[in-house]
Structure 1
Amino acid sequence: MLGTAQILSYITALGLAAAIPGPGMTALVARSVSGGAITGFIMLFGLILGDLIYLSIAVFGLAVIAHTYASLFTLINWAASLYLCWLAWQFWTYQPQAVEIGQKVTKQELASAWLSGLTITLGNPKTIAFYLAILPLIITLDNVSLQIWGMMLVPLTIFVLLSIGAIFILAALRIRHFLTSAEAQRILFRSAGMIMLLAAVGMVVKTL
């Protein structure tokens, strides 16, 4: 079992990593502003799933495989960076529109939000660095069993990310009332686009 010190260290480190603005939380705010709470939380579920995937990779030692098959890992990085570039273009070219509170969203929009959340996390250098480089410094992964992973680390990860993400979503919903001007929306979405582009460039640079 994990000790209290390790648990608190993990919660603190993960909370800080999630709270620092990056591609994931920036996109979450932008989606919540344009689509509302439901869209925001659906995207958050995608973000969390991406984190759980990297957590599993770190815990079960698949990181070793990633380093062994460097070419495959590079290909995945390039694919993720291209997707981030596409998202950056979508945010940059977003056409400001009136913010309608309580507007219904389609299943297609929800599916798109979930997939965006998942792929953004999988292509987020900050997430990769946390689980494959920082996590082993916090927790002795060799001692993590399947039971500890399923009954402690997974619930803790979901709890922390859901809590931090909910704060960002609620803040975005408060902002919606002030984003009635086209210029304010344009600044928000273009800022999100720039962060996406910088993340994509960072991923490409790491593979060179």
Structure 2
Amino acid sequence: MEPAALLLFAASYLAVLVLPGPSVTALIARVLAQGLGGAPAFVAGVVVAALVWFTLAATGLALLAASLGGVFEVIRYAGAAYLLFLAWKMWRAPVRPLAAPPPVADAGRMFLAGLAVNLGNPKAMMFFFALLPTVVDLGGLTLLGFVELALVIVLVCGGVLGGYALAAARARRLFTSPCAMRWMNRGGATVMAGTAATIAAR
């Protein structure tokens, strides 16, 4: 693809991702409450879901995706339910000093949570099915162009979410007292439960 077209796509996608949505909100809440453990797996799940939406849009399978709306509804509710489960665990999490080793996160479950949240995110679907064709000529898309766009998606999505995770991890260090950490855990749990409710209500 022309470099100008790739830059236009990257700028458009960056503008959509920078505005916090369900994926960013859930990631920040998780990192604030429990540190960076599991964050890379969650980000990977979100990126893979973005690539799924992109593939469906680029290969002209938007009608198939629309016909499978019920499947994506189930995924959306499953993602919301898992976020509620994580919120409940955060609320009940014991207060640990920052010097203590973080709890071992189940990478597989965090990956599935990121995947489900983004597959059930109407903003992601709208970008790839409605806005992508206005930025990229999908009719003339070659295999090389497809790979280039997929690489841009991985870099932009992973970079934005990784930046949010690192910023949340840095902010987390400001809270060192047990009382502050307890309220941070509960605040993160509340935000994550609110995100789950928002996803389920859409």
What is the aligned partner in structure 1 of residue 116 from structure 2? Answer: 119
Indicate the larger mover: 162-171 or 188-197. Answer: 188-197
What is the aligned partner in structure 1 of residue 48 from structure 2? Answer: 49
Q: Once superposed, which parts of structure 1, at least 4 consecutive aligned residues long, lie more than 6 Å away? A: none
Shift of 1:116: 0.7
Residues matched between the structures, number = 195
Against the structure 1 CA distance between its residues 104 and 95, is the aligned structure 2 distance closer, same or farther, given a 3 Å change threshold?
Answer: closer
CA distance in 2, matches of 1:65, 1:29: 33
Instruction: Using structure 2 for the length normalisation, give the TM-score.
Output: 0.86
Q: Deviations over 1:23-53 (max 9, x none)?
A: 1111111222344334211211111111111
Shift of 1:115: 1.1
Following superposition of structure 1 onto structure 2, how do residues 61-72 of structure 1 map, counting pairs within 5 Å?
Answer: 61-67=60-66, 70=67, 72=68
Percent identity (aligned): 22
What is the aligned partner in structure 2 of residue 87 from structure 1? Answer: 82
CA distance in 1, matches of 2:96, 2:115: 25
What is the aligned partner in structure 2 of residue 97 from structure 1? Answer: 94
C-alpha contact 2:79 2:113 (8 A) present in aligned 1: no
CA distance in 2, matches of 1:54, 1:99: 39
C-alpha contact 1:32 1:169 (8 A) present in aligned 2: yes
CA distance in 2, matches of 1:134, 1:33: 32
Against the structure 1 CA distance between its residues 90 and 38, is the aligned structure 2 distance closer, same or farther, given a 3 Å change threshold?
Answer: closer
| 1:132 equivalenced with 2:129 (yes/no) | yes
SS across alignment from 2:174: coil
C-alpha contact 2:43 2:111 (8 A) present in aligned 1: yes
CA distance in 2, matches of 1:92, 1:156: 32
Following superposition of structure 1 onto structure 2, how do residues 8-27 of structure 1 map, counting pairs within 5 Å?
Answer: 8-27=7-26
SS across alignment from 1:37: coil
What is the aligned partner in structure 2 of residue 110 from structure 1? Answer: 107
Instruction: Using structure 1 for the length normalisation, give the TM-score.
Output: 0.84
Aligned to 2:73, which of 73, 78, 85?
78
| 1:4 equivalenced with 2:3 (yes/no) | yes
| 1:147 equivalenced with 2:129 (yes/no) | no
Q: Which amino acid aligns with 2:165?
A: I
Aligned to 1:170, which of 155, 166, 170?
166
Structure 1 gaps of 5+ residues are 203-208
What is the aligned partner in structure 2 of residue 201 from structure 1? Answer: 201
Shift of 1:119: 1.1
C-alpha contact 2:22 2:195 (8 A) present in aligned 1: yes
| 1:190 equivalenced with 2:185 (yes/no) | no
SS across alignment from 1:121: helix
Structure 2 gaps of 5+ residues are none
